A and B are shown apart, each in its own frame.
Chain A
Amino acid sequence: MAEVLVLVDHVDGEIKKNTYEMLTAARRLGEPSAVVVGTPGTATKLAEGLAAHGAEKVYVAESDDAVNFLSTPQVDVLAALVERVSPPAVLVAGGADGREVAGRLAVRTNSGWLNDLVEVDGEREGTHSIFGGAFTVQSSATTDTAVISWRSGSIEVEENAAAGTQETVEVPSIDAARSAKVSNRAPIVGGDRPELTEATVVVAGGRGVGSADNYNVVETLADSLHAAVGASRAAVDSGYYPNQFQVGQTGKTVSPQLYIALGISGAIQHRAGMQTSKTIVAVNKDPEAPIFEIADFGIVGDLFSVAPQLTEEVGKRA
């Protein structure tokens, strides 16, 4: 069976859940091979998780250069492997870094790039959800290899014990004069809460929350549900909550089982980032707020009384 390459998304020696989704999706197309690009010693920490989720092979590309240059090491390693194993597909995580790797790899190997897929079938037919979920688009690559960037949170992860046989591959030496050098890397670590794009439940606050201090109402409810915290752009712009938590067209796209919107009006650009959530609950003072048009359950009321009461109710049932 053909090998399908999956670039492992990892930070601080831990695999991101998205990688497991990609391994699950890769299995439909062939035999998943995980590709680890990192500093020496990285693969050892990741090996077990990769094998448990279906990686028959693990290509280990380790070098200090892996973190000293911007996306070039990943592109170089993947391009060499594409040349060698002619995979029907290469899957890369759909974040900013992953998309950059995907786009460059597509140029380098002259492959079709299927960006932001939420589904792929055994015939390499990919599904995108565009314009904030208003349209579903089916597309495919006309080239031998498809480069796929994967939207996290799109499919259920399947465990699948596999060999996980490790093979060391080279990180090609990088022409420093023609590459972008990186220093002072500071990954954003999410703390104890689940990552926004991977969470099963998201609780988000908007301008209605009123201040940064008040945001603890949102956080407390989120914690009772083991949820990630999100924010509207108005909440971010007003300084209530940090930028990386923004949901919407210019923020993150989330598709959790449950999305709870507190004090968010539901502008089209916000909806673009959350309307494919399976269940939507909204709390808003204004009965005419557009968020109610897409909410499965809405309470017209003050978030400062409804949210704490809900937190308490969830606590009782925990």
Chain B
Amino acid sequence: MNIVVLIKQVPDTWSERTLSDGDKTLDRASSDAVLDEINERAVEEALKIKEAGDAEVTILTAGPDRATDAVRKALSMGADKAVHVNDDAIHGSDAVATAKVLAKAIGTVGEVDLVLAGNEATDGRSGAMAGMIGEVLGWPSLTHANALSVSDGTASIKRETDEGTCDVTASLPAVVSVGEKINEPRYPSFKGIMAAKKKPVSTIGISDLGLDASEVGLEGSLVQVDSFAPRPPKSGGQKVEDEGDGGQKIAEFLVGQKLI
């Protein structure tokens, strides 16, 4: 089976996140970057399928030079090879443009059976990339999986969202997005880390995908950011030590605020 795992480098949520003044995009240089936790789970799921049978696992990312670190991490977990779409023209792409780029890039991997993605990245929170890529490719998308099984050309998942649970099945090729509960990703072993250094990573640009610069990036996006402003940080108000009347004090405060 030919599996593609979509991974994304995101700013570490522990570091300060900001937007750049110039083009109002995420300022990726100002914060530490990490492989998104949810993507490690997507990689893990692909490796489980590989270990249970026979599969080739290709990592795919669209991002700047620094995304190489995330790619290496995924390879060190055990993926076989990687495609890195790295092109200045992509910078500033909206979700629709990103979906088009990723869908085209999936096409470079040959006859793909299964695409795995995270259900929601910690930075963009569009949380719909799997469905969107499915839409571009005309493939079914099975989203928010907390369990996945693949057999006889069919993918089945247990879907779990805040709104409820259900079972979803579809025939391959298909796109599956994984949720937080699907598995516990492995740590790369020392051997894995060493092996990753020799695994093939093909770095390509949008012209290799048959795309024109006007179709991606800020230019190709259907949404434009007009302005942004930091919100003044909320400052703390009163803080009082409980002297046995803490509950009453809160009640008085709430009455003062007309909240009760």
Contacts and interface: CB of A to CB of B under 8 A. Distances in A.
A296 B237 CA distance: 4
A214 interface: no
Given A113-B95, A268-B14, A137 B228 contact: yes
Range, interface on chain A? 35 or more
Interface in A232-261: 243-244, 249-250, 252, 257-258, 260
A252 B174 CA distance: 28
A182 B237 CA distance: 49
Nearest to B176: A180
Contacts, number: 258
A185 B132 CA distance: 23
Nearest to B247: A309
Given A183-B167, A268-B13, A135 B231 contact: yes
Instruction: Give the one of B143, B166, B222, B241 with max A CB within 10 A.
Output: B222
A138 B225 contact: yes
Interface in A255-284: 257-258, 260, 268-269, 272, 275, 279-281, 283
B179 to A, nearest CB: 9
B5 interface: no
Secondary structure class of chain A's binding surface, majority of residues: mixed
A260 B259 CA distance: 12
A294 B226 CA distance: 29
B165 interface: yes
B230 interface: yes
A293 B244 CA distance: 23
Interface of A: 11, 70-71, 75, 95-97, 99-100, 102-104, 106-108, 110-116, 125, 129, 131, 133-143, 177-188, 201, 225, 243-244, 249-250, 252, 257-258, 260, 268-269, 272, 275, 279-281, 283, 287, 292-302, 305-314, 317
27 contacts: A95-B162, A106-B96, A107-B99, A107-B135, A110-B96, A113-B95, A136-B228, A136-B230, A137-B19, A137-B225, A141-B224, A143-B222, A180-B168, A180-B169, A182-B166, A185-B166, A187-B163, A250-B122, A279-B257, A287-B239, A293-B234, A299-B240, A299-B250, A301-B246, A310-B246, A310-B247, A317-B251
Given A133-B231, A142-B223, 11 more contacts: A103-B135, A106-B222, A113-B223, A178-B138, A180-B140, A180-B141, A186-B165, A187-B164, A201-B259, A258-B254, A314-B254
